[in-house]
Structure formats: C-alpha cells, structure tokens
C-alpha cells in the first residue's frame, strides 16, 4: 500500500495561505492536522509552515519516532526546561516572522496568551479551518484506507448478526462488536458502538446498557472501525421478532430519504441541498419533527469532519469527498430507525462504499 505524499499536502496548504490577505506563515497545533501534513503519529507536536520552511516541534519522548516516521522533516526537539510553545516562539523570532496564522479552533486561550507574550513583535492572526478543508477531499490512498475500514466494519457486523441471541445485552453486543473489529484488523473503534434495543433505538446516541435482545423485537446498531488511522461509520436495524406495526412504514420512509440523498450527491451541489432532498421525503410522510439531526458528515482521520450536511450548513461537495448519509426517524418510547452508509463523491455523482443491504427484508434475523 502506498503512503500519502505529505509534501503535496504542505504545498496545497501553502497555496491556500497565499490566497487573499492571509499570513504566509502558519502554526498548526491540531494534532490530527499535524499528522495529516507530516505522517507524525505522536500525541505532542506542533508544525510551523512558512513559504520556505516546514519545522516540526516536539519533545525528547518523540525524537526517535520523528526520525523514523518523518526522516526528511526538519525537527526541533525541546527538553524539560522549555514548553513546546516556547520552542516555537524562539524559532518564530529567529526567522523574523511578523505575522503568524494560528488555528482558531485549536489554540486555547491560555496558549494564545502565552504566544502573544512571547511574540510581542509578531501579529497573531486566527485562521479558518484551512487544513480541515484540505482533509475533506481525499486522495487515492485515503480512499483505499477508508474502504479497508468499511470492509472490517462489515465483516464484524456479519459475525455479530449471525451470533445474536435473545439473552445478549446491548453491552455484550457492543463489546463483542469491538472485539470483532479488532480481530479483523481495526486498531480501535471510531466511537463507542451504539446499540439500542426496542424503544431505546429512539435514542440516536444511546449508550449500550444491560437491556436484553429478547426485551424488544428489534435493535439499532451504529458502529465504526479505525484502520490505518481512517474511520468508517455504519448503522443498521436488525429485526429479531415481530416488530411494532409502525416500524415497516417508518423504515421505508427512512430508506426513501436515504435514496433521495444519494440521488442528490454530486460535485458542485451545496450540502444543505442534499440534506433538503432527504428531509423533504421525511417531512412529506408527516415525520419531519422526528428527524432532528443533520443528514451526515465527512469521515476520514476523524469520525466527524468536513463537510457537514444540515439545513443551515454551508459548503459545496467536491469530487473525492467521503461522507455519511444517515437519515433517521425517532419515535420516543416506541422505536428508532436510521440507515447509514459511507459514500464517495465521484465525478458525476456518488458511489456507495458500504455494501450491506438496506431493504427491509434484509433486517430480519432469527435469534
């Protein structure tokens, strides 16, 4: 498997910094963004990007790791006498940087005040999520890793589905699902698996409890794996008995909304329009009030990242974005239905990366 071309990512960031009146130098403090630009997988590191220099700042714990993971990257390593930000400030002063862009969503107020005190002749300029916007469009390596993550996700679910028993609890299913994901190659879960039996499926982010499968007639499962640092995110409903009379109709409404969103996805479409395509199906069925969250989100190094689908979200889809499509309807005290797939935006539409069936008949399983 090929590895990402980190120099290309840095070049694209420099191009973004060169647009408009933005500073030409930027301090990257979000650890995920540092990893995206360099390949450094440690938990402590800042990256200074200027028109001519790229410097990774960390501490002695990661000196050997940086040499191994980023052999061609300039690095400055601090000892216990300095903080990483103090080390950064020293280099900024040495390089004569007069304006420094910082990640507004990542730098804490305390760190900002510390930098401002150490860099009194340098203007600090909060920046929009530039690296996050780069991360939203995946390259071929990232897409392949997401597909691997989805494959692990689906294999784990197939095992869990085949092993369902009435005496299993939500918590047992969640733990076993995590075990299966790891057994098939995941490093960890993208998030704690959501398992909701019966009426608890109406809790979109239900925490797995001691509720047993045979205490309901269906279960909603939302799970995600991390493979090669990239996430997947799927949701399915499994029907284990005679479902409530309303469930088949609600399920078909959600499935129709899911398809409407798929039909709307293509490059150049605004994200709120895709949300509207799905939401209007649910509203026409009289269930609009029961769909209270956004239609979906981007996935990649994070389980939730740009772009975001929602009624008031801004943004335009681009080719090679990977997004979730996850409409849902939740009737408190009775049931919840959500169908979620991971989808690649293609040149002329989209391609569903997940392969699990979505038809109602496929939901039924004998326990």
Q: What is the pLDDT of residues 55-108, one digit of tens each?
A: 999 999 999 999 999 998 999 999 888 899 999 999 999 999 999 999 999 999
Give pLDDT, residue 21.
85
Beta bridge partners of 331: 335
Residue 199 · residue 220 · CB < 8 Å: no
Whole-model pTM?
0.94
* CATH code that applies to domain 140-363: 3.90.230.10
Pairing of strands 341-345, 322-325: antiparallel
Query: How many CA atoms lie less than 13 Å away from 352 in the CB half-sphere?
Result: 17
Query: What are the domain boundaries of the chain?
Result: 6-135, 140-363
- What is the fold, at CATH topology level, of the domain defined by 6-135? Creatine Amidinohydrolase; Chain A, domain 1 (3.40.350)
Query: How many angstroms separate the Cα of 31 from the Cα of each of 45, 90, 129, 131?
Result: 7, 21, 13, 11
User: Which residue ranges in the chain fall short of pLDDT 70?
Assistant: 1-2
- Per-residue pLDDT, 119: 94
Can you give the pLDDT at residue 286? 98
Exposure pattern of 277-304 as b/e (b: 16+ CB <10 Å)? bbbebbeebebeebbeebbbbbbbbbbe
Residues 208 and 194 sit within 8 Å (Cβ to Cβ)? yes
First-to-last C-alpha distance (Å) of the chain: 40
Q: Do domains 6-135 and 140-363 have the same CATH topology?
A: no
- 122 Cα distance to chain centroid: 34
Contacts with 265 (C-beta within 8 Å, 6 or more apart), sequence order:
274, 317, 323, 325, 343, 345, 349, 350
* Structure confidence at residue 367 (pLDDT): 84
Tell me how far apart the alpha carbons of residues 146 and 144 are, in angstroms, rounded to a whole number: 5
């Amino acid at each position: 498997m090929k590895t990402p071309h980190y120099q290309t990512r840095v070049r694209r960031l420099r191009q973004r910094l060169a647009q408009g009146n933005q500073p030409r130098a930027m301090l990257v403090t979000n650890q995920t963004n540092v990893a995206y630009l360099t390949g450094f997988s440690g938990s402590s590191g800042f990256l200074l990007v200027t028109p001519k220099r790229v410097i990774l700042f960390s501490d002695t714990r990661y000196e050997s790791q940086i040499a191994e993971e980023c052999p061609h990257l300039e690095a400055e390593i601090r000892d216990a006498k300095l903080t990483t930000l103090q080390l950064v400030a020293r280099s900024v002063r040495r390089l004569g940087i007069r304006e420094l862009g910082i990640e507004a969503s990542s730098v804490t107020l305390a760190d900002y005040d510390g930098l401002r005190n150490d860099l009194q002749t340098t203007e600090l300029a909060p920046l929009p999520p530039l690296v996050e916007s780069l991360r939203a469009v995946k390259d071929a390596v990232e897409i392949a890793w997401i597909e691997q993550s989805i494959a692990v996700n689906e294999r784990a679910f197939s095992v869990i589905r085949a092993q369902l028993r009435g005496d299993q609890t939500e918590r047992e299913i969640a733990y076993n699902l995590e075990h299966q994901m790891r057994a098939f190659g995941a490093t960890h879960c993208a998030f704690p698996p959501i398992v909701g039996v019966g009426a608890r499926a109406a809790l979109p982010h239900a925490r797995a409890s001691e509720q047993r499968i045979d205490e309901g007639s269906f279960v909603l499962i939302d799970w995600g794996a991390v493979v090669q640092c990239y996430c997947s995110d799927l949701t399915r409903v499994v029907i284990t008995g005679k479902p409530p009379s309303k469930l088949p109709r609600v399920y078909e409404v959600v499935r129709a909304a899911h398809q409407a969103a798929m039909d709307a996805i293509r490059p150049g479409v605004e994200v709120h329009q895709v949300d509207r395509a799905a939401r209007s199906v649910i509203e026409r069925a009289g269930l609009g009030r029961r769909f209270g969250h956004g239609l979906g989100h981007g996935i990649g190094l994070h389980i939730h990242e740009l772009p975001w689908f929602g009624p008031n979200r801004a943004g335009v889809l681009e080719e090679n974005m990977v997004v979730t499509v996850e409409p849902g309807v939740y009737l408190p005290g009775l049931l919840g239905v959500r169908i979620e797939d991971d989808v690649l935006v293609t040149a002329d539409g989209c391609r569903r990366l997940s392969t699990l069936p979505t038809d109602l008949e496929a939901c039924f399983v004998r326990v």
